[in-house]
């Protein structure tokens, strides 16, 4: 099953979100707020799908906060809720300037 950004937005608006201890710790270490993650989902687009992830299909989304900060958000789509996995600012050493395309590893 592929994840739909429309479904993610709808579920998040209902407040059916699971924030694990792992994601909350990562957000704190990276100085990212939960509101910024939700803003990124609201404005974002899915750039990678992981339909075989367990226990739920997940995706990588690129979005922007109200302050103009780009974020990558990884989340899973459960039956009736979104499971937040992690969020981070894209690293220019790993991503092209569009923040959607992974840089090719050479060597």
| pTM for the full predicted model | 0.92
Q: What is the distance between the alpha carbons of residues 106 and 58, in angstroms, rounded to a whole number?
A: 28
CA dihedral for 67, 68, 71, 75, sign (positive or negative): positive
Full pLDDT tens readout for the chain, 107 residues: 788 999 999 999 999 999 989 999 999 999 999 999 999 999 999 999 999 999 899 999 999 999 999 999 999 999 899 999 999 999 999 999 999 999 987 66
The 3-class secondary structure across 22-42, one letter per residue, is: HHHHHHHHCCCCHHHHHHHHH
- Cα dihedral 57→63→67→68 (10° resolution): 160
């Amino acid at each position: 099953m592929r994840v739909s950004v429309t479904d993610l937005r709808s579920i998040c608006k209902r407040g059916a979100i699971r924030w694990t201890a792992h994601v909350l710790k990562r957000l704190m270490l990276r100085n990212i707020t939960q509101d910024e993650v939700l803003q990124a989902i609201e404005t974002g687009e899915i750039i990678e799908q992981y339909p075989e992830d367990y226990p739920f299909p997940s995706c990588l989304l690129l979005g922007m906060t109200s302050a103009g900060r780009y974020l990558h958000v990884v989340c899973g789509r459960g039956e009736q809720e979104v499971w937040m996995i992690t969020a981070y600012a894209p690293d220019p050493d790993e991503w092209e300037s569009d923040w959607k395309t992974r840089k090719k590893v050479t060597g």
